[in-house]
Structure 1
Amino acid sequence: MVGEVRSGRLGPGRAEELYHAVVDLLTEQGYEALTMDAVASRVHMSKATLYRQWGGKDGLVASALKHFVTPIAQDIPDTGSLRGDLDAFVDGFDDEETARRASLMRGIGQAAHEDAELEAALRELIVEPCRRYFTPMLRRAMARGELAPENTAVDFIVHMVLGGVLAPEIMEGRMVTQAGLRRYVHAVVLPALGAA
């Protein structure tokens, strides 16, 4: 399993401090510039301890991701309409948590393409839960006649939602908010699905 601590020597409070330091350094410097020396220095811990427990930078960063990124809600809303279901999805977003996810993804996005463990962590924590969340929602919408079964846009729901979360920071220098995500869902996602 990605991101498991390999030793029981760190208590929960110490691990929390360590993961905060990793996330802070990722946000400040990006993945490539983050070093085990910098982490060890920030938390006053020996580099040998870090290597012994996490094996290297990729394992440590994967653990920090797993610790801080709250999985998408498992309860898939069924409000009776696709618009209502997507609004309920947006209602579950917390601005601070969404900003954390976006910062982490930005901080390690490029590195994940070159590191299998990081890529697996991103997929496990963000991409696959989104897929499991939206697939039944869209199937219900098709069963209700809201979406045409041949609509190929449904294959890109995860791309659209993740794009809506990440694009504001990349293109406009601001973090996504719940209100902004709702506007995006209404203006882009629903029309693309043919359910506006």
Structure 2
Amino acid sequence: MGLNEKATRRRGAELEAAILDAAWEQLTERGYAGFTFEAVAERAETSRPVLYRRWPTRSDLLQATIRHHGAGQDVSAPDTGSLRGDLLTALRRSNDRRSNFLVLLSASLGEYYSESGATPSDVRDLLFGAQRMGIDDILDRAVARGEADPARLTPTVRTVPYNLYRHEVLMTLRPVPDEKLTAIVDEVFLPLVTP
């Protein structure tokens, strides 16, 4: 090993972050079928044994990759001053930032679900962990402003905007048109929760 190689060698957290970033790129570009230790090691410019020491199985590597990617996700709630504005802003942000991930969840991870017994919900939990979701802040502020009836905000109703959004992405495998996002808020959700 030459002097320059030693000076640029990555270790610890730096190496792990580089591997998980490379793994995310491999997963999103090639899907789970192309998510192999060899491909990730090559992309990360490291060796397979380095990966195996940290993650004994491909499933372990996938879970670490999703958690790593999720750690950088902004789940804060926009505050436009109105329930409608907050929901539209949040849905548009998800559409811009997360629609590819939803496609990945449905189209590319079928083999992972079959191998592991995991579900898309389990993968979503890996991505976001126990973070409080922005929708909860949006709805709490709407109740405080008198824009939403707390009695109508049942656990099922609270999930309606994002469930409809996810349905649209998964049915079309592309971002949702803005007019459909507006319809989700104006035609479905607001009539459900408005006092």
Q: Same fold (TM over 0.5)?
A: yes
Equivalences, count = 179
Q: 1:190 maps to what in 2? A: 190
Contact between 1:99 and 1:176, CA under 8 Å: does it hold in 2? yes
Alignment-mate amino acid for residue 77 of structure 1: D
1:35 deviation in Å? 4.5
Q: 1:25 maps to what in 2? A: 30
1:52 deviation in Å? 0.8
Per the alignment, do residues 181 and 122 of structure 1 end up closer, same or farther by CA in structure 2, a change over 3 Å counting?
same
Alignment-mate amino acid for residue 192 of structure 1: L
Q: 2:175 maps to what in 1? A: 176
- Deviation string 1:13-33 (CA, Å, 9 cap, x unpaired) is 554333311333326x4xxx8
Alignment partners' CA distance in 1, 2:16 and 2:44: 14
Select 2:73's aligned residue among 60, 68, 71: 71
Alignment partners' CA distance in 2, 1:71 and 1:135: 16
Q: Which runs of 5+ in 1 are unaligned?
A: 1-5
- Deviation string 1:15-74 (CA, Å, 9 cap, x unpaired) is 4333311333326x4xxx854455456767543222112232222112322343452432
1:86 deviation in Å? 1.3
Q: Over alpha carbons, which structure has the higher Rg?
A: 2
Per the alignment, do residues 188 and 49 of structure 1 end up closer, same or farther by CA in structure 2, a change over 3 Å counting?
same
Q: Which one is further off, 81-90 or 10-19?
A: 10-19
Aligned with 1:87: secondary structure? helix
Q: Which runs of 5+ in 2 are unaligned?
A: 1-10
TM-score (norm 2): 0.67
- Cα root mean square deviation, aligned: 3.7
Alignment partners' CA distance in 1, 2:128 and 2:143: 25
Alignment partners' CA distance in 2, 1:9 and 1:140: 39
Per the alignment, do residues 132 and 42 of structure 1 end up closer, same or farther by CA in structure 2, a change over 3 Å counting?
closer
Alignment partners' CA distance in 2, 1:138 and 1:170: 25
Alignment partners' CA distance in 1, 2:47 and 2:191: 53
The share of aligned pairs that are identical, in percent, is 22
Per the alignment, do residues 82 and 54 of structure 1 end up closer, same or farther by CA in structure 2, a change over 3 Å counting?
same
1:114 corresponds to 2:117: yes
Alignment partners' CA distance in 1, 2:69 and 2:22: 12
Aligned with 1:92: secondary structure? helix
Per the alignment, do residues 140 and 18 of structure 1 end up closer, same or farther by CA in structure 2, a change over 3 Å counting?
closer
- Deviation string 1:95-138 (CA, Å, 9 cap, x unpaired) is 2x22222123224477298349x92x521534754x53222322
TM-score (norm 1): 0.66
